[in-house]
Amino acid sequence: MSNINNLLKAKVHIGHKTKFYNPSMKNFIYCKYNNMHIINIDKTLKCINESKSVINNIIDNNEKILFIGTKKQIRSSIRKIAFELNQYFIINKWIGGMITNWDIVKKSIDKLKKMYIEIKNNINNEYYTKKEILNRKNNFKKLKKNLFGIVRMNELPKAIFVIDSNKESTAIKEAKKKNIITFAITDTNSNIKNIDYVIPANDDSIKSINICLDLIFKKQINIKRNE
């Protein structure tokens, strides 16, 4: 009961205005109230527990999860939980082909690592003009911004965990093509096609997102903190 109360306090059940309704979310909606859809909080908790069980197995087997959340208000939460769990993350921008063209992306990651060593140690600077050195540093910053969260990723992850399936629809489609398990926090306006584990919740509120993340990953976070 306490988990239900905590979810309600975080307004996890507050969906979008009914005019933005996506029929694929029909089974997760409790009712309409003041032109708003209300999410069935019992189903939210059930989905959280189902997702938690699968995720625990993934992490316990030393397999990896890629967190994807590019909304500005959730970036720090995504980065924090990915760091705590030693997982991967994308919070700036999803670049098309990150999964389906992994070999090309991996080359960009290798390039980023090489540039980091060269810039840090001023290697090969004698071969470049000041303008070229500046351009290289700018290119490095751009690569780092987009790839920092996956710089240690040597192969595709076992699963992706997405915040807002509409915004991250390209990533979800790519994961489906590569048979990567997809978890997603989805709102009443969300398209849940290609999602393996739906977590119906308010995906605009940082409090709502944080409590869902906490309930799903709490066991794994505690394990990491006690290592």
For the stretch 136-178, pLDDT in tens is: 788 888 888 999 999 999 999 999 999 999 999 999 999 999 9
Which two tokens mark 206?
A: 């940082």
Whether residue 115 sits in one domain with residue 93: no
Whether residue 170 sits in one domain with residue 121: no
Whether residue 146 sits in one domain with residue 169: no
Whether residue 165 sits in one domain with residue 75: yes
Whether residue 83 sits in one domain with residue 161: yes
3-state secondary structure of 220: helix
pLDDT on residue 119: 75
Share of the chain above pLDDT 90, in %: 73
β-bridge pairing 65-68 and 88-90: parallel
CA distance 107 to 104: 5
Q: Is the distance from CB of 147 to CB of 109 less than 8 angstroms?
A: yes
pLDDT on residue 42: 96
Whether residue 175 sits in one domain with residue 93: yes
pLDDT on residue 123: 60
Q: Which residues contact 55 (CB under 8 A, 6 or more apart)?
A: 65, 159, 161, 183, 216, 217, 220
The CATH number covering residue 178 comes to 3.40.50.10490
pLDDT on residue 224: 85
CA distance 25 to 55: 22
Q: What is the pLDDT of residues 178-194, one digit of tens each?
A: 999 999 999 999 999 99
Closest CA to 224 of 97, 42, 70, 56: 56
Pick 14 or 184 by higher pLDDT: 184
Whether residue 89 sits in one domain with residue 108: no
- Quote the Cα angle for 190-164-70, to 5°: 150
Which two tokens mark 53?
A: 């069980």
pLDDT on residue 41: 96
Q: What are phi and psi of 65, to 5 degrees?
A: -120, 135
Whether residue 62 sits in one domain with residue 85: yes
Q: What are phi and psi of 185, to 5 degrees?
A: -80, 120
Whether residue 66 sits in one domain with residue 139: no
Q: Name the helix (H) or strand (E) containing 212.
A: helix 206-225
Q: How confident is the model at residue 211 (pLDDT cuts 50, 70, 90)?
A: very high
Whether residue 14 sits in one domain with residue 64: yes
Residue 130's CB is within 10 A of a number of other CB atoms, namely 8
Q: Which residues contact 166 (CB under 8 A, 6 or more apart)?
A: 189, 190, 191
pLDDT on residue 47: 98
Count of structural domains within the chain: 2
pLDDT on residue 107: 94
Single out the residue in 119, 134, 150 at which a domain terminates. 150
Whether residue 17 sits in one domain with residue 80: yes
Single out the residue in 150, 172, 187 at which a domain terminates. 150
Whether residue 117 sits in one domain with residue 52: no
Which domain covers residue 206, as residue numbers? 2-99+156-225
